Every structure is written in structure tokens, then in C-alpha cells.
Amino acid sequence: MGKINDIIEEYFSAGHDKDTADLFADWISDGNASEEKDAALFEQWNKDCYVSHDAVEESLKVVSGRINQRKVSGRSAHPVWKWVAMFSSAAAIVALFMTTFYSKEVVVEKMPSPMTECYAENGERQIVVLPDSTTVILNSGSMLIYPESFSGAERKVYLTGEAIFDVKKSQTCPFIVSTRDLDVRVHGTLFNVSSYMDSDFTSATLKEGSISISTGTNGEYLLTPGQSLEYDRLSDRVSISQVTVDEAFSWKDGKLCFKSESIHTIARKIERYYGCKVYLTTSRYDKESLTAKFIHGETLEELMSALCLLVPGMKYTIDDSTVYIK
């Protein structure tokens, strides 16, 4: 217990190193929850420690990456909180979500009700039906955290990654999707939200109904069907545009679409879609962007061959489940 407590203490400090983050990620993403783990996290939880936004965000990337690499059989969702003061193996992830979403320096606060975590590993998608009958389709490499039951004045869930929400209508109890950059508020509608940790952009695209989006620093925006809002974290700017909605939703049907996207962004999408690793071994593509659609369930090799035809000079090799772009 002493060693675990030391790791947790250092991890929640502002200056922990990569080795500590890796140790914590391995430990927290281990599905074998134990009384020792519960007790250690509970002790840290009760300290009401302050957490640096930057440290939390970097650590969440590590934890999310570990989870995406896990091979889980049978279940894709499990309880996060047994009760307000008891932790399961994913409890610290929710704490990280809470700190990432709200302020520069925050106090980690206790959650009022049991929560459930559900995730889709790289290379797969998951359908989740929430307690209010809202349907969520999780894209590859995504995580959703939601309460076991909705109570109070709102229905709030937390997302990292991408998901399509078909929200059960309620005029008295709004539904809120909270990401690291923005909150999407609805009463009943169909929309897509994308907020991956390895991307500098968070977006929401509306297909039916209406949604209001708040970014904290840029005010609130109301979208109508066919519109998409994109938030750029680097510039702290918001843009709204008319889009082809079916393209934004096409991933649920197994399609892979790139729209004026960098090779680096495309590489991350390929990783999530195929459950592989992609390495760029050269910097020659740093300024390249590409628009393409793959809609016929192409294999990884077929897709890479097509990319090489579209990008002059591009070559690749595949070693097991790892792609090297040259």
C-alpha cells in the first residue's frame, strides 16, 4: 500500500514525471479492482488536493491510451463509483475528466451518485443505451461516463473521443454532453460530438432538432440542423459552418472520411479505425493535407495503397499491426 500511495501522491502533484504517469496509468487501467486500490484512491480523494490542468490533461492522454490498448472480453461497461466515497478502477479517470473540463486550478470534488464508464477500443464501435433510453454510438478510441440513473434538473454525461447521441426528449430535464472544451445542451435531438485527446479541435454537428453549445471563454452558440461548430484549442476560436451531415455521421456505418486533414490527423484516425499503430518516419508530409472517402470496408493495406496514390512519393510498410509511413 505504501508504494501505491507514493505513486498516487506524486501523480496528483503538479510536477510528476512520465514514469510516474505511466505507473499510475498501468495501475488505474488494470481491470482487477481491489480493496487496496479502493482504499488508496479514497485516501487521496479525501485530501481535496488541487490538480494542475496541464498535468491532468497530459495524464488523461496516458490513461486513455492505456485503456484503448487493453483487450477486454465480454464487458465494455462497468461501474465507476460504488457509492460517493468508494472507488473502482476507473474512478480517477472521472476525477481527471472533472478537472479537465472546468478550470485552471480546481478542487477534485466527490461525485453525488454512482457512475458507469463505457469505452470503445481502437478498431471497434459500441452502442450504449443510457438510463433515460437515450442511444449513444461510441466511435473507436472513445470513452463515455454517465450516472447509473438520472436525477435532478439535468442529465449530464462526459465524453472523450467521438459519439453520436440520439437523445430521449424531455422538456423539463435537459441533456448535457460535457467534453474538455465545450458543453452541448439539448432537450431531445440527434447530433455528433468529436473531442479526442490527441486532437486540437472539438466539434459538434447537428442532424435533427437544436442544440446550444458553450465553450466557457467564447459564450454560447445555437446550432440548427446541418450546422457544425468547431473549436480550435490553440487559437481559442470558434467557427460555425454548413456541412454535409451524412459525412459527419458516416463513421457509424464503417466509413472513413478525411476532409482537408493533415497526414498526422489521418494517421491517428487510421489507428483508431483499424486498431493499429501508425508511425510517420519522415517530416516530408508535415504540410500535406488530404480529402478522401473510404466507404467499402477497405482493408488496412488497401487503404494505405490508396493513400500512396493520392500523396506523391508516399510509401509504407506494414509489420504485424504497425504501419510505417516513409
Answer whether 167's CB lies under 8 Å from 186's CB.
yes
pLDDT score, position 36: 59
Q: List all residues 6 or more positions away from 283 whose beta carbon is below 8 Å from its beta carbon.
A: none
The correct CATH number of 115-248 out of 2.60.120.1440, 1.10.565.10, 1.10.3720.10, 2.60.40.1760 is 2.60.120.1440
Answer whether 324's CB lies under 8 Å from 315's CB.
no
The span from the CA of 262 to the CA of 244, in Å, is: 20
Residue with cell 477497405: 298
pLDDT score, position 83: 28
The set of cell numbers assigned to 84 is: 460517493
Which pTM value belongs to this model? Answer: 0.69
pLDDT score, position 119: 85
pLDDT score, position 214: 93
The span from the CA of 183 to the CA of 186, in Å, is: 10
| For the chain, domain boundaries | 1-112, 115-248, 254-325
Q: Residue type at 245?
A: V
Residue with cell 466515497: 85
Answer whether 316's CB lies under 8 Å from 323's CB.
yes
Apex 42 CA angle, 132 and 47, nearest 5: 115
Give the residue ranges of DSSP H helices in the chain.
2-11, 18-28, 35-45, 53-69, 91-102, 245-249, 263-274, 300-310
Walk along the chain (326 residues) and give the pLDDT tens digit of each residue: 555 566 656 655 544 555 665 565 555 555 554 555 555 655 554 554 444 445 444 544 544 554 444 433 333 454 433 322 233 334 444 444 444 444 333 344 444 568 888 989 999 999 999 999 999 999 999 999 999 899 888 999 999 999 999 999 998 899 999 998 999 999 889 999 999 988 889 999 999 999 999 987 778 999 999 999 999 989 999 999 999 898 889 999 999 999 889 999 999 999 999 999 999 999 999 888 999 999 888 999 999 999 999 999 999 999 988 999 99
pLDDT score, position 240: 96
The fold adopted by the segment(s) 254-325 is Phage tail protein beta-alpha-beta fold (3.55.50)
